[in-house]
Chain A
Amino acid sequence: MNTLIAIVGLGVLCLIFEILNLRKALVPMTIIGLLAILGLTISEFNTPGSYYNNMIVVNKFSMAFSSLFIVLTVFLVALSHNFYENHQSKISDFIAIKIFLLSGAVAMVSFGNLAMFFLGIEVLSISLYVLAASNRLNLKSNEAGMKYFLMGSFASGIILFGICLVYGAMGTFDITEISGLSQSAELPVWFPIGIILLLIGMLFKIAAVPFHFWAPDVYEGSPSLTTATMSTLAKVVAMATLFKLLTAMNADLSYHFQIVIVIISMASMTVGNIMALKQANVKRMLAFSGISHAGFMLMTLLSTATSAGSLLYYATAYSLAGIAAFSVILYVCKNRENEDVVNFHGLGKTNPILAAVLTGALLSMAGIPIFSGFFAKLILFSQTIQAGYLVLVIVAVINSIISVGYYFKLILAMYTKEPNETRTGTPIIIYAVAVIAIILNLILGLFPSLVMDLLA
């Protein structure tokens, strides 16, 4: 609870900084504030509680994910300084929106009431719509924002409809009460329908097949930093929320429901990976790779009783690799018209450090040891086999092999092609973010228990 209040307070402070003309201090101050909030969250890790008539329920799950979101936001805010150089006057707006986005994210994992859940998702989504269209003189950015807004509000509508049906069936918004009622033998037919609508809405947010069509266009059109936000922060937020929603409302997912999850998971992996193979634009490629990762993360829903820790680990591994990859993309594609692979030619010669970081990030996403992406997949496979879905694991393995194809395309481009022009300037912040993210990823790979045991 304190976390949420502090985050909103920080967001307001960002706006006040603008009024006080303290733009230069904005990014460092925000980072310090976020780190302080991170400390606060960690210090409260072992003190669960509920507030405002169970509107907000804070437990280990919400604390752990909130901490991850805060860490990701720190990285994203740090990258802002360089990214918004050209329009300094608005930097406070961008930062404030990111902080408010974080507050929505935290609300989404610590809700105790469906009303709060919907508030969270709207705060998050609206911030993202704004960020997607924030490059307002660019046609593509406008298109991305509009597309995302139309599709997203449609999904929000479906979620709201689902909430209404659940309310109609159960007579309450409180998820502990709903969970209790759902154990009874006679369930009104509205309840499963409501759950399915909620599921559809959330699958849209995490861009799982067949609700993924918006992702490539929006990822490509949005300013790169917004894409980074969407593909790391927003994706893991939506996944964690979906996990929490399904575990909190009905702990025993029926067999048919699990089969649906299995099919969606397989479809997301396969479609995402196969489409990614042919992409020339790196942001588009990462959008499709994100779709396939969504498919992997959906596997955690098959063994909800034990897989909270592995979802947290997968989300952390994936988003840290994403942050590292995107910080390199931000550097390479700054002042370029597009983000094609051509821009990465010869990066291994001109910027060995950043090339190494991007290589590491891609290896982690591909699931090569010793990066944490490997353990994330391993633990996921282990749990899924335990849940009895060996076929899904085999499909996932085949997909991991396919994914190597496009991740290595980028690595090859960096090391085997000749650089087409020299890049000047070494923005220290981008280097720092990229290196810290990949080192965190490596540390988690060397000591997976650090994260895995948090939610045991």
Chain B
Amino acid sequence: MDVSYLLLILLVGALTTYFAGDKLASRVALLFSLASLGLSCYLLNLFNLGQNINFIAPWISQPNVSFALQADGLSIAMVLLTTALTPLIVFSSFGNEFKNAKSIYSLILFMSFAMVGTFLAADALLYYIFWELSLIPIYFIALLWGNGDAEERKKAVVKFFIYTLAGSLFMLVAFVFLYQRAGSFMIDDLYKMRITTQEQFWIFLAFFLAYAIKIPIIPFHTWQAKVYQKAPTVGTMLLSGIMLKMGLYSVIRWQIPLARFATVEYKNVFIGLSIAGVIYGSIVALRQKDLKKLLAYSSLAHVGLIAAGTYTLTLDGLRGSVLQMIAHGFVVVGLFFVAEIIYRRYETRTISEMGGIRAQSPKFTSMFLILVLASVALPTTFNFVGEFTVLYSLFQTNIWFAILGGTTIILGAYYMLKMFQYVMLGETNTKIFKDVTFNEGLTLVIIIAVLFFFGMYPKPITDLITPSLENILIQINRTN
């Protein structure tokens, strides 16, 4: 049993979902995504037992490309994040009636396939192909099933597509350049290569363009809020929950080790840019009137902190970032789902039109409050572990980074609680708020359970990711 089966299940799932027809599509998609979750847990077990679950086969002879999937702790953690969130996302959409449902569920599974491939690929070209493939489904999901004015949505989505494609094409040029030197696209061969600091600087920039747009880091974030707002909630969840983690994962896996001299030399600049994103995102979030946009900017602030953590190049920084990636993935999916639950009842996303829900639905209120608190990194939640570790590593690098980065918690608490206050509290709303259904409640409970469990006991994940992060650090600190 190796990781290629995981890709196979998701791909077959995407096809089966399409041919299952509109009525069955959602259930078939859920089934296949659960199967992929089961398989990835099984693979995790095999990995922990020390078995070889890599899959390597020659693919193209000229240029020398192989279909290489390698799993280490880091990849497996990200794959688990993807396969755990996909069924949740599919399940969360059970209350929605999609036109042409078979297509959207099939696209969701296909996107999950591409993202899992991105996390596993050990061949630069294969990695690039999966990276690009994941863009096509989200483009159509956001374009065809999104909300709001069609023309405006079209503009936002096309901008997003061209932006990300432009960034990744420069990454492709960097890979081709590296290939010319190394004669291979395999990550191990690329790691072994020696190139001058000057060349590394350009490679770093090419990668940075691709990842900074995807994550997004200031000043490449302009596509984000509009697309998050316009995309259907499942699309927003996929984008914010998993897809932007592709960028962060790639920073750790590809950018830093391949351009290590350049990273070490300029890391303060990029930590600075990331922290600028934290502050900018938090301040802009304060002023948002649209719930989804507010969450988009809050997400911008949080991932800025994660990016800053990765660029510290310390074990704590990297570990904190990965933990926070996973934590943020769950919490952001939960928060967008809350926005969707409210939208299903009130058909609005404008914060001022909400309010007074607490009295009508206390269960929902408490779940929402837990998510809000998790998002602002309350101790005992998973996010606390992640954010605290990142801040600690920033503190070690430079105290000012930690102080500025720490504003995310203060400002975050302010805008999130203010939002909560306007959305949920106040005089009882005249519009009736039907209590959450069993399905909706289940989704939220699962997310909250995950956040609390790993908040109190993050050791399994830490143990899983630490060895592979140490390997990457050894690669970075190599002297020659």
Contacts and interface: CB of A to CB of B under 8 A. Distances in A.
Contact of A381 (B60, B61, B132, B172): B172
Nearest to A412: B154
Contact of A416 (B61, B144, B172): B144
A449 B60 contact: yes
A368 interface: yes
A404 B60 contact: no
A378 to B, nearest CB: 7
Contact of A412 (B158, B166, B179): B158
**A interface SS class:** helix
A309 B61 CA distance: 12
A119 B128 CA distance: 46
Contacts of A452: 60-62
B450 interface: no
B375 to A, nearest CB: 34
Interface bin, chain A: 20 to 34
A382 B185 CA distance: 12
B200 to A, nearest CB: 15
Interface string A404-415: 110010001001
B161 interface: yes
B63 interface: yes
Interface in A361-410: 363, 368-370, 374-375, 378-379, 381-382, 385-386, 390, 393-394, 397, 400-401, 404-405, 408
B162 interface: yes
A382 B60 contact: no
A381 B176 contact: yes
Given A404-B165, A412-B154, A449-B61, A382 B180 contact: yes
B63 A382 contact: yes
Contacts of B179: 382
Contacts of A412: 143, 154, 158
Contacts of A379: 62-63
A337 interface: no
Contacts of A363: 136
B115 to A, nearest CB: 14
A453 interface: yes
A401 B158 CA distance: 12
A363 B132 CA distance: 12
Contacts of B129: 369-370, 374
A405 B162 contact: yes
A368 B61 contact: no
Nearest to B153: A416
A448 interface: yes
A368 B384 CA distance: 40
Nearest to B162: A404
B177 interface: yes
B169 interface: yes
Contact of B62 (A400, A415, A456): A456
A397 B172 contact: yes
A214 to B, nearest CB: 31
**B interface SS class:** helix
B452 interface: no
Contacts of A448: 60
Given A408-B158, A416-B144, A397 B169 contact: yes
Contacts of A368: 132, 136, 165
B305 interface: no
Contacts of A375: 60
Nearest to B165: A404
A427 B150 CA distance: 32
Interface bin, chain B: 20 to 34
Contact of A370 (B60, B133, B173): B133
Contacts of A393: 173, 176
Contacts of B170: 397
Nearest to B130: A369
Interface in B90-145: 125, 128-129, 132-133, 136, 140, 143-144
Interface string B154-178: 1000100110011001101100110
A401 B169 contact: yes
Given A369-B128, A382-B176, A401-B162, A453 B62 contact: yes
Contact of A449 (B62, B128, B158, B177): B62
A382 B63 CA distance: 8
A133 B170 CA distance: 44
B169 A369 contact: no
Contacts of B176: 378, 381-382, 385, 393
Contacts of B158: 408, 412
Nearest to A368: B132
Contacts of B63: 378-379, 382
For B170, B173, B179, which residue has the most chain A Cβ atoms within 10 angstroms?
A: B173
Contacts of B161: 404, 408
Given A382-B176, A408-B158, A408-B161, A415 B140 contact: yes
Given A370-B129, A370-B133, A416-B144, A400 B169 contact: yes
A252 to B, nearest CB: 22
A56 B154 CA distance: 55
Interface in B243-267: none
A448 B60 CA distance: 6
A448 B133 CA distance: 17
Contacts of A456: 62
Given A381-B176, A449-B61, A416 B154 contact: yes
Contact of B173 (A309, A394, A408, A416): A394
A309 B60 CA distance: 13
B60 A385 contact: no
For B63, B136, B162, which residue has the most chain A Cβ atoms within 10 angstroms?
A: B63
A390 B180 CA distance: 12
B172 A378 contact: yes
A405 B166 CA distance: 11
Contacts of A381: 172-173, 176
Nearest 8 interchain pairs by C-beta: A369-B129, A401-B166, A397-B169, A369-B132, A382-B176, A449-B61, A448-B60, A381-B176
13 contacts: A368-B136, A369-B132, A378-B63, A378-B176, A381-B176, A385-B173, A386-B180, A393-B176, A401-B165, A401-B166, A415-B143, A415-B144, A452-B60
Given A368-B136, A385-B177, 8 more contacts: A375-B60, A382-B180, A397-B169, A415-B143, A416-B154, A452-B60, A452-B62, A453-B62
